[in-house]
Chain A
């Protein structure tokens, strides 16, 4: 139980274009989802927290206009990287909390390469 499906697993896009990453909770309702970014050999850095039906809360230093987060339903959150640049190339991972916040389940991640 408590599975999160993340798509796509990898994407290559041209500089200046936008990319959307989807995160779905398959067998539970995810009131809160989290988006992380991970650079090679570094840990996961929280980018934003998304709550169903409300605006996302972004961590300090994360551009909300560049990383658009939508959490329109209890099972789907999306992250759109707008006007992507090579420095946005990274591994993006979503997560959802369950069991009153004690449990966290993670997507398999999306490798974004901007060329």
Chain B
């Protein structure tokens, strides 16, 4: 069966460090993968999309890598700030443009 797995344990890092979150998937052949941010009690907010033929994508302090051989995406936040604290979700699109989400990883950036 199809699975998208993210580290369910919260990631605590110090302000200024780089946060790295992992998304692994099985039984998918995605054309692209997306990352979202979700704050408590709010809907997800789109951050980045990376296509299967792209190895890396950057947007300001964010960087996403996509390894279709390993079936893995890494999401990096450089120079992290307390305001980056949130839950980060990866998502893959399947048939009918339906998005399936990973379990999410909660990031806490401490002063």
Binding site for B on A (CB under 8 A): 6, 32, 34, 42-44, 46, 49, 57, 91, 93, 95, 97, 101-109, 111
Contacts and interface: CB of A to CB of B under 8 A. Distances in A.
Given A102-B49, A104-B46, A57 B96 contact: yes
B64 to A, nearest CB: 15
B103 A32 contact: no
A49 B44 contact: no
Contacts, number: 47
Given A44-B89, A97-B97, A101-B93, A108 B43 contact: yes
| Majority SS at the chain A contact face | strand
A42 B41 contact: no
Contacts of A103: 46, 49
A111 B43 CA distance: 11
Contact of B42 (A57, A102, A109): A109
B44 A44 contact: yes
A93 B42 CA distance: 9
A37 B93 CA distance: 17
Contacts of A46: 98-100
A48 B7 CA distance: 27
A6 B43 contact: yes
Contacts of B46: 103-106
Task: Report, nearest first, the 3 A-B pairs whose CB atoms are least far apart.
Answer: A106-B43, A101-B97, A43-B101
